[in-house]
Amino acid sequence: MLEYGQIFCFIFAVSGQGFLARDITFENTAGPTNHQAAALRINADLSAVYRCTISGHQDTLYVHSFRQFYRECDIYGTIDFIFGNAAAVFQACNIISRLPLPGQATVVTAQSRDSPDEPTGISIQNCSILPTDDLQSKSSTVKSYLGRPWRNYSRTVVLESYIHDFINPQGWSNWVEDQGLDTLYYGEYENYGPGSGTDGRVAWAGYHVMDYDDAYNFTVSEFIAGEEWLDSTSFPYDGGL
């Protein structure tokens, strides 16, 4: 276990290429009152993280840049706890929202794509999006969302995943007023569970209920060319839908 409790401190930061992590806990113990306090930052191409726990509150996991893959990980946080501008795929992970400070909402993702030409985004596939018990007990008063646009071309999709009913029916939240609402790409495909219904979702131009072809663009094989490099890691992965 790697842990520390200082605000704005990355407990573990990786640069380079080919970073692999397995069966490790990365934890920032700063607590919710210290605001941004990341546990793990990765800006290394061809990175893969398997069966790890990544735990914090606000801004837990900074998927900074390049191609990244997460499999069977437990990721905990409150606000924007998966954030950054990598091309990142999460498969078979438990993504767990914690109770925030009074007056705050929880937000799973804050993707920061700046340009429509960037091949980046967050793809959450075959995962479970869940609350902690204390958040669930207050879900009638604490709003929770799948994501919000940190930059104008923010791109996040949720595919074939279980969504608990603590997620607000709107699904997604704005950042500042109407920033990025027409230019972002947020999508959902074949999700299930009591929070997965799309009838009450936001009516933004950038929100999409995806079809098979749309969703396939965000798979391991298409989005991060995973079949070209993940076999060498020995970590399991699903190439398609």
Report the pLDDT averaged over residues 204-225.
98
So what's the pLDDT on residue 239? 98
Question: Encoding tokens for residue 79?
Answer: 């606000």
So what's the pLDDT on residue 9? 62
For residues 171 and 139, what is the distance between their CA atoms, to the nearest angstrom?
Answer: 14
pTM above 0.85, yes or no: yes
Segment (H or E) for 155:
strand 155-159
Give the chain's count of helices (H) and strands (E). 3, 21
Q: If pLDDT is split at 50, 70 and 90, which confidence band does 156 have?
A: very high
Q: Is residue 204 pLDDT above 80, yes or no?
A: yes
Q: If pLDDT is split at 50, 70 and 90, which confidence band does 216 have?
A: very high
So what's the pLDDT on residue 5? 43
So what's the pLDDT on residue 3? 46
- The number of C-alpha atoms within 13 Å of 153 and in the hemisphere containing its C-beta is 10
Q: Is residue 4 pLDDT above 80, yes or no?
A: no
Q: Residues with catalytic annotation? A: 80
Report the pLDDT averaged over residues 152-176.
98
**Reported CATH class of domain 9-231:** mainly beta
So what's the pLDDT on residue 88? 99
pLDDT in tens, 111-149: 999 999 999 999 999 999 999 999 999 999 999 999 999
Task: Let me know: does 124 contact 95? Beta carbons within 8 Å.
Answer: yes
pLDDT in tens, 51-91: 999 999 999 999 999 999 999 999 999 999 999 999 999 99
C-alpha 224 chain-centroid distance: 15
C-alpha 57 chain-centroid distance: 13
